[in-house]
């Protein structure tokens, strides 16, 4: 029998936001916040398209039978340093967003991303070591700015949205990541195509020196610098957005200003409560102002923070392993020819073509399935389904792996591989971003989202560094120069399937937030006082309800 919903006391401005009809301003917020994520994804993943080119330009020895590749320590740094910066940025800007406001911190992240995108492409030096060192330095700080975008974009969108379509709005912001990945592939494809047509070159095996034309050095620099463009285009609109009503009312304790701001942007008249009622509601909503490290937070939200952090960690181990090292997987199944049979620009062209195809057919559609279905099916069901299907398709790749590597079966492998991306994005890659922006109190929302996101980036770092070494063949004769034998791509896929299975199990600790207001989910509507009341019961993890 369904339980009766408790009556919650809520500020008029927040009740109006929860009930507001979808209108143009919501879509403006999605585009403005989403372009930050478009930039984030482009900047984070475009590096995987040019690492082979960097190896050819800076580490080729013409006397060797194969073109140069980045040494293991350099490859790990180039691929992983931005992720390290992202983790630090998520923690710092997540905390800052709860201290100085979402809008102010938001502008800072965007400026940092613009400056460091351009600086990454201008990496200078007379030696390979100096070029790689400056590239890694600027990509760390680029990642730091990108990191801030995660908690701030999610929190801003969740606090602007109405409760009936909030999941779809936050998912739409995150879905711009798919377009960013796709744009990285298309830009690289276009540049590689234009440059190889303008500067034709023989294959490496025909002429090792001539196979990498001097102009190839411009290609990777242009690709990295173009990441600044969408961020520049949206800066003005970001600065025009008012602070969110929930931060202004519940954290800054200025509900009259919140009502004024939202009246303007939603084009409706919102009356501020009388002073006595206002003080009473805000006092109850603050719940005594308990902190992140308090026993009350641990009692009310400890399981939730563990669940959001653990599931994000586990999905990112798998997701970033696959995304950053698609080129290595494609090469292992012979979808991309051996490096020695191509010129440098031919190799870039083929890698970007394969990655663009996967993004177009698997990555982007998955995000938009989440956008349209999350407020119908709910966060819990989509995350559970996504982890289950990721596990199934990774096992489907790993168990008959030798079948997929034989000639004629590459299309089947690509289809199966594309489905793992589809169900990552129509699943935990999206939901782990959405849920932390909905279930924590306003004064800790950005901080807790930052902690959850940082756990995810820790998983991405494990994936980026671990897969680099683990995917090396077990046979010493086939190991890339400078590497030790690993467990091979097949066994690495088994490990990623295991991570997805663990994520499936941790999902049972995640509360369902579909159709509930942010104040209901966080407990702020109940005053968060005393013992666990109705709000705490509503947020109890699913697995505990079953028990």
CA gyration radius, the chain: 24
Confidence of residue 538 (pLDDT cuts 50, 70, 90): very low
Is residue 445 over pLDDT 90? Answer: yes
Mean pLDDT in residue range 222-246: 84
Is residue 355 over pLDDT 60? Answer: yes
Looking at 287-400, list the stretches that DSSP marks H as alpha helix, in order from N- to C-terminal side: 295-324, 326-332, 344-358, 364-377, 379-398
Which of residues 71 and 126 earns the better pLDDT score? 71
Assess contact for 39 and 231: CB atoms under 8 A.
Answer: yes
Q: What's the token pair of residue 184? A: 């990285």
Helix axis angle, 102-121 relative to 72-100, nearest 10°?
160
Confidence of residue 162 (pLDDT cuts 50, 70, 90): confident
Assess contact for 79 and 430: CB atoms under 8 A.
Answer: no
Full DSSP string of 58-72: HH--TTSSS-----H
Is residue 201 over pLDDT 50? Answer: yes
What pLDDT score does 151 carry?
A: 93
Confidence of residue 353 (pLDDT cuts 50, 70, 90): confident
CA dist list (Å): 157 to 9, 17, 20, 315, 453:
23, 12, 14, 22, 16
Is residue 3 over pLDDT 50? Answer: no
Contacts (Cβ under 8 Å, ≥6 apart) of 302: none
Is residue 431 over pLDDT 60? Answer: yes
Query: What is the CB neighbour count within 10 angstroms for residue 264?
Result: 12
Q: Which residue in 516, 511, 522, 539 sits closest to 441, CA to CA? A: 522
DSSP 435: G
Interatomic CA distance for residues 441 and 356, integer angstroms: 39
211 HSE (CA, 13 A, CB side): 25
CA dist list (Å): 174 to 32, 355, 431:
12, 20, 10
Is residue 537 over pLDDT 50? Answer: no
Contacts (Cβ under 8 Å, ≥6 apart) of 383: 311, 427, 428, 431, 432, 435, 507, 510
Is residue 120 over pLDDT 80? Answer: yes
> According to the per-residue pLDDT averaged within each range, which of 11-20, 195-204, 466-475 is highest?
195-204
What pLDDT score does 294 carry?
A: 86
Average pLDDT of the chain, as a whole number: 82
Which of residues 480 and 122 earns the better pLDDT score? 122
Q: What's the token pair of residue 71? A: 């040494």
Which of residues 331 and 75 earns the better pLDDT score? 75
Mean pLDDT in residue range 237-259: 81
Assess contact for 415 and 422: CB atoms under 8 A.
Answer: no
Q: Which residue in 265, 314, 245 sits closest to 10, CA to CA? A: 245
Q: Which residue in 386, 453, 430, 417 sits closest to 322, CA to CA? A: 417
Judged by average pLDDT, the poorest of 23-37, 342-356, 361-375 is 23-37
Mean pLDDT in residue range 214-229: 92
Which of residues 383 and 337 earns the better pLDDT score? 383
Interatomic CA distance for residues 513 and 538, integer angstroms: 9
Mean pLDDT in residue range 29-56: 86
Assess contact for 241 and 39: CB atoms under 8 A.
Answer: no
Is residue 272 over pLDDT 70? Answer: no
Q: Which residue in 364, 381, 361 sits closest to 373, CA to CA? A: 381
Whole-number percent of the chain with pLDDT over 90: 34
What pLDDT score does 493 carry?
A: 85
What pLDDT score does 331 carry?
A: 65
> According to the per-residue pLDDT averaged within each range, which of 2-11, 414-423, 435-444, 467-476 is highest?
435-444
What pLDDT score does 432 carry?
A: 95
User: In this predicted model, what pLDDT tens digit does every residue of 502-511 receive, in sequence order?
Assistant: 999 999 998 9
Contacts (Cβ under 8 Å, ≥6 apart) of 283: none
CA dist list (Å): 541 to 6, 378, 521, 536:
19, 15, 12, 10
Confidence of residue 427 (pLDDT cuts 50, 70, 90): very high
Confidence of residue 390 (pLDDT cuts 50, 70, 90): very high
Judged by average pLDDT, the poorest of 20-24, 281-285, 401-405 is 281-285
Global pTM?
0.84
Mean pLDDT in residue range 310-328: 79
User: In this predicted model, what pLDDT tens digit does every residue of 90-104 receive, in sequence order?
Assistant: 999 999 999 998 888
Interatomic CA distance for residues 359 and 125, integer angstroms: 34
Q: What's the token pair of residue 455? A: 């756990």
Residue burial 140-164, b: 16+ Cβ < 10 Å; e: rest: bbbbbbbbbbbbbbbbbbbbbbbbe
CA dist list (Å): 123 to 111, 128, 135, 221:
19, 11, 5, 8
Mean pLDDT in residue range 286-303: 79
CA dist list (Å): 430 to 345, 367, 374, 464:
34, 7, 10, 20
Interatomic CA distance for residues 434 and 37, integer angstroms: 14
Interatomic CA distance for residues 56 and 516, integer angstroms: 54
Is residue 286 over pLDDT 90? Answer: no
Query: What is the CB neighbour count within 10 angstroms for residue 530?
Result: 9
Mean pLDDT in residue range 439-459: 93
CA dist list (Å): 101 to 96, 108, 277, 426, 446:
7, 12, 24, 31, 9
Interatomic CA distance for residues 444 and 410, integer angstroms: 48
């Amino acid at each position: 029998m369904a339980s009766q919903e408790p009556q919650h006391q809520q500020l008029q401005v927040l009740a109006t936001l929860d009930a507001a009809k979808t209108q143009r301003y919501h879509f403006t917020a999605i585009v403005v916040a989403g372009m930050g994520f478009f930039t984030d994804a482009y900047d984070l993943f475009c590096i995987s398209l040019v690492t082979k080119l960097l190896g050819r330009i800076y580490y080729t020895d013409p006397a060797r039978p194969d073109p140069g590749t980045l040494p293991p320590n350099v490859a790990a740094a180039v691929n992983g340093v931005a992720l390290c910066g992202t983790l630090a940025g998520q923690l710092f800007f997540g905390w800052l967003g709860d201290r100085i406001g979402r809008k102010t911190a938001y502008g800072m992240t965007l400026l940092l991303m613009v400056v460091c995108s351009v600086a990454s492409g201008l990496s200078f030096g007379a030696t390979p070591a100096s070029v790689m060192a400056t590239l890694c330095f600027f990509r760390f700080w680029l990642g730091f700015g990108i990191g801030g975008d995660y908690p701030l974009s999610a929190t801003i969108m969740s606090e602007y949205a109405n409760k009936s379509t909030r999941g779809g709005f936050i998912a739409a912001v995150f879905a711009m990541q798919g377009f960013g990945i796709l744009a990285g592939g298309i830009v690289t494809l276009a540049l590689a195509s234009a440059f190889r047509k303008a500067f034709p070159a023989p294959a490496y095996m025909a002429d090792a020196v001539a196979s990498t034309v001097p102009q190839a050095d411009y290609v990777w620099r242009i690709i990295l610098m173009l990441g600044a463009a969408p961020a520049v285009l949206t800066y003005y609109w970001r600065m025009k957005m008012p602070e969110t009503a929930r931060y202004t009312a519940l954290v800054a304790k200025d509900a009259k200003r919140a009502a004024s701001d939202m009246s303007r942007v939603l084009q409706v008249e919102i009356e501020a409560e009388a002073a006595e009622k206002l003080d009473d509601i805000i006092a109850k909503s603050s719940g005594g102002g308990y902190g992140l490290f308090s026993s009350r937070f641990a009692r009310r939200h400890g399981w939730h923070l563990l669940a959001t952090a653990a599931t994000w960690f586990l999905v990112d181990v798998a997701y970033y392993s696959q995304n950053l090292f698609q080129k290595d997987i494609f090469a292992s199944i012979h979808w991309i020819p051996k490096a020695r049979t191509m010129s440098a620009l031919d190799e870039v062209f083929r890698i970007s073509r394969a990655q663009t195809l996967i993004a177009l057919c698997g990555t982007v559609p998955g995000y938009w399935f989440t956008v349209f279905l999350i407020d119908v099916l709910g966060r819990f069901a989509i995350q559970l389904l996504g982890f289950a299907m990721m596990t199934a398709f990774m096992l489907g790749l790993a168990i008959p792996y030798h079948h997929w590597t034989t000639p004629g079966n590459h299309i089947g492998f690509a289809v199966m591989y594309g489905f793992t991306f589809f169900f990552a994005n129509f699943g935990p890659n999206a939901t782990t971003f959405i849920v932390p922006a909905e279930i924590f109190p306003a004064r800790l929302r950005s901080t807790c989202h930052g902690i959850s996101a940082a756990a995810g980036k820790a998983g991405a770092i494990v994936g980026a560094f671990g897969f680099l070494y683990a995917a090396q063949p077990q046979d010493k004769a086939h190991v890339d120069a400078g590497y030790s034998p690993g467990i091979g791509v097949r066994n690495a896929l088994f490990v990623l399937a295991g991570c997805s299975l663990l994520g499936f199990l941790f999902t049972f600790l995640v509360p369902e937030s579909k159709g509930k207001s942010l104040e209901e989910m966080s407990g702020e509507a109940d005053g968060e006082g005393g013992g666990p009341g109705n709000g705490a019961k509503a947020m109890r993890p699913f697995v505990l309800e079953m028990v």
